[in-house]
Chains A and B, each alone.
Chain A
Amino acid sequence: MKKIVLGLIVTTSLFTGINSVSAHNLPNAGSESKGWKYVGSHWPSTSTKYFEATTDTWESRFKSGASKFRSESGSKFSISEVSVGNTQNFIENYSSSSATWVARRTVYSVSNDHPARWRIQFNSAKSANSWTTVAAHEIGHVFGLDDLYEGYNNKKLMYGYDSGVRYMQSSDKAGFNYIY
């Protein structure tokens, strides 16, 4: 009898745990003064995959950003390239001289705060102060953080302008800890 009860407790706690990961709605949180803001959606787990639909140059820039993001987060996150067919997330470059942005992150079909897929697009008609930081910043959006604009946040990874090399700071990490 004891074994049955124990088994039921273990099974129930396992299912509860799984549910909390798959239906993970979060209220809006954070602020400029806190140094992080929730963007309203986030990838369901700390691990994501992508395929590349771009040239070696842009692939290398993205990988450099992914490596920066991974190491500055203390390997909390995993961003790995897989072959086409194993994911619908992708990175690409597109040359648009009339667009003024240098990079863009798009998410599609959100359910329970979780996008079905994401895309990161680099505008190859523009130049950036640090493509590595731009790529790491866009990955930060995939994992749920919003842009910051106040001048006092201009050293943070999630600052919304291409102000050069920036690093993930304790406030950025506090934001990610809120989400995951």
Chain B
Amino acid sequence: MNIRKTAITIGVLSLTVGTGLYISSATEKNIDTKAEIKAKTDSQEALARKKVEELNSKVASGEEKVLSQSAVFPDVNKEEAFQEADIVIKGKVESINKEYMENTDIPFTDFNFNVEEYWKSDLKEEENNSIKQLVVTQDGNSELNFNEHPLMEVNKEYILFLKRVLNNNNEEKLIMIAGPNGKFNLNENFIDQSIDTQSVNGETADEFIEDSSQGEVNEPIAEIITK
């Protein structure tokens, strides 16, 4: 009888210890698997970063060329553009200040823009009357531009809706609100867009800006008198 009891006790104990050992090993295995997955993911990310650097360096060295690009721009109408803008101006491109790429192949051009009229401004009142030229940044450059957002041309007149941002080098830039939606070509003081998404072609500059401000502004807040 005692022998039987002892045998049962040993059996139960063995089963308990065995189950415990199994659970413990399975848990350890699970932890190992998680660690393995994390390590694998980290190494995949590092490989991806390395590959992107390698491909970018081919472009930077000229070994490989970007042949075309296209982009989706925010859908912003003229009223939203006026609302969002820090500065709304009418004026003329004097010259190209500089062309450059960010992160290998993100193209930009900085233009020297001669202001004729300020319609909205975050500058001080005296600055609106004295700052005759602003540096305006546009997406694209002579190497790589966007079909839907052609680069501004020297000596041509535009109405611009501009916003101040800090770029990745911590430099302040004045960019167009929503790219092509913040730049309007003028031809003898009439709006003349090659892609007229808002049906504004033929409006005078004053009418157009007044409509954009929803009637709030009906004349420039400052005009630059050029001698």
Contact = CB atoms under 8 A, between A and B. Distances in A.
Co-complex (A, B):
yes
Interface of A: 39-41, 51-53, 83-85, 88, 90, 92, 94-110, 115-117, 119, 126, 128-129, 134, 137-138, 141, 146-147, 149-151, 160-164
B72 A134 contact: yes
12 contacts: A41-B67, A51-B51, A53-B51, A98-B168, A99-B108, A99-B139, A100-B175, A149-B195, A161-B73, A161-B181, A162-B74, A162-B75
B70 A105 contact: yes
A53 B52 CA distance: 7
A108 B66 contact: yes
A96 B167 CA distance: 7
B49 interface: yes
Contacts of B64: 108-109, 116
A8 B68 CA distance: 42
B199 A151 contact: yes
Given A51-B48, A100-B176, A108-B64, A94 B70 contact: no
Contact of B165 (A51, A98, A129): A98
A41 B139 contact: no
A171 to B, nearest CB: 18
Contacts of B48: 51-53, 84, 90
Contact of A98 (B71, B167, B177): B167
B59 A108 contact: yes
Contacts of A151: 197, 199
B168 A101 contact: no
A73 B94 CA distance: 48
Nearest to B183: A100
A51 B45 CA distance: 10
B68 to A, nearest CB: 5
A101 B73 contact: yes
Contacts of A119: 55
A63 B49 CA distance: 19
B177 to A, nearest CB: 8
A157 B164 CA distance: 31
B188 interface: no
B65 interface: yes
Contacts of A160: 70, 72-73, 148
B10 to A, nearest CB: 52
B70 A147 contact: yes
Interface stretch (B1-9, B28-36, B98-106, B218-226): B98-106
B74 to A, nearest CB: 5
Contact of A102 (B47, B67, B72, B173): B72
B102 A99 contact: yes
Contacts of B66: 106-108
Contacts of B91: none
A149 B180 CA distance: 11
A106 B68 contact: yes
Contacts of B74: 100, 102, 126, 128, 161-162
B59 A97 contact: no
Pick the most buried of A109, A138, A160: most chain B CB atoms within 10 A of its CB.
Answer: A160
Contact of A101 (B71, B167, B177, B195): B71
Nearest to A98: B167
Interface string B66-108: 1111111111000000000000000000000000001101101
